[in-house]
Amino acid sequence: MPSAISHQPSARRAIFLDRDGVINRMVYHPDFGLVDSPANPDEFILLPGVSLVVRAINEMGLLAIVISNQPGVAKGKFTEELLEAMTDKMHRELALGEARLDAVYYCLHHPEASIPKYKTHCDCRKPKPGLLLQAAREWEIDLRGSYFIGDGITDVLAGQAAGTRTILISSRKPYLYEALSEHKANPNHIVASLEEAITLIQEGMQ
């Protein structure tokens, strides 16, 4: 089980980013009537403005780290190799905008996985904070001085559990407040876009 991280003033700070819906577009599958994560590099498309936001994180001297559940591997929707190919495409396309992710952490598990080796109740699947704690150990990150930006309640809960500040991207406010209350999720900020989130952080650092 991931251990707690001591919060050192000299440690680095990071902006943790959820992936699907924050960095890249979700994919609509008309045959099933579902919106889901991309399952191959052709489906992986960066959202507008993401390169500018990640480059801004780089220029602020903060680490840019992706934290993402990817249960499609556990459910047999795509392979680890395809996930790696999507990650490579993400890095390449961000680099075209002179932007850089410092690290990417994925949870591949799911408690109802169709592939046995991924079927587990793990400590890394959000809303648990395992991946955040792992990143903090490996990069000597001050979690209390860091942010987690995501578009889901699980992102908020994972950030809360790890001790980061949290920013939720959402425009569904009437429904949202009820859901946040139900799950005891208390984001520090709710914004309408990733650009708004990074502007808020920039202003807070001035």
Q: What is the CATH number of the domain that holds 88?
A: 3.40.50.1000
| Catalytic-residue membership of 31 | no
The fraction of the chain above a pLDDT of 90, given in percent, is: 84
| Whether residue 2 has pLDDT greater than 90 | no
27 sits in which H/E element: strand 27-29
The answer to whether residues 103 and 66 touch, using CB atoms and an 8 Å cutoff, is yes
When mean pLDDT is compared across 2-11, 78-87, 145-154, the lowest value belongs to 2-11
Please report whether residue 150 resides in a domain. Answer: yes
Q: What is the mean pLDDT of residues 77-89?
A: 97
What's the pLDDT band for 172 if we cut at 50, 70, 90?
Answer: confident
| Whether residue 5 has pLDDT greater than 60 | no
Please report whether residue 5 resides in a domain. Answer: no
| Whether residue 116 has pLDDT greater than 70 | yes
Please report whether residue 153 resides in a domain. Answer: yes
Active-site pick, 18, 142, 151, 155? 18
Q: What is the pLDDT of residues 44-60, one digit of tens each?
A: 999 999 999 999 999 99
Please report whether residue 180 resides in a domain. Answer: yes
Q: What are phi and psi of 68, to 5 degrees?
A: -145, 135
Domain around 44: 15-205
pLDDT at 6: 36
pLDDT at 20: 97
Q: How far is CA 51 from CA 21, 55, 66, 106, in A?
A: 14, 6, 14, 20
| Whether residue 24 has pLDDT greater than 50 | yes
Total domains in the fold of the chain: 1
pLDDT at 206: 64
| Summary mean pLDDT of the chain | 92
Please report whether residue 8 resides in a domain. Answer: no
First to last CA, the chain: 37
What's the pLDDT band for 175 if we cut at 50, 70, 90?
Answer: confident
| Whether residue 197 has pLDDT greater than 80 | yes
Strand runs (DSSP E) across 95-186, as ranges?
103-107, 147-150, 165-169
What's the pLDDT band for 11 if we cut at 50, 70, 90?
Answer: confident
Rounded Cα gap, residues 26 and 66, in angstroms: 16
Please report whether residue 37 resides in a domain. Answer: yes
Please report whether residue 67 resides in a domain. Answer: yes
Please report whether residue 77 resides in a domain. Answer: yes
| Catalytic-residue membership of 123 | no
pTM of the model: 0.92
Q: What would you report as the CA-atom Rg of the chain, rounded to the nearest whole angstrom?
A: 16
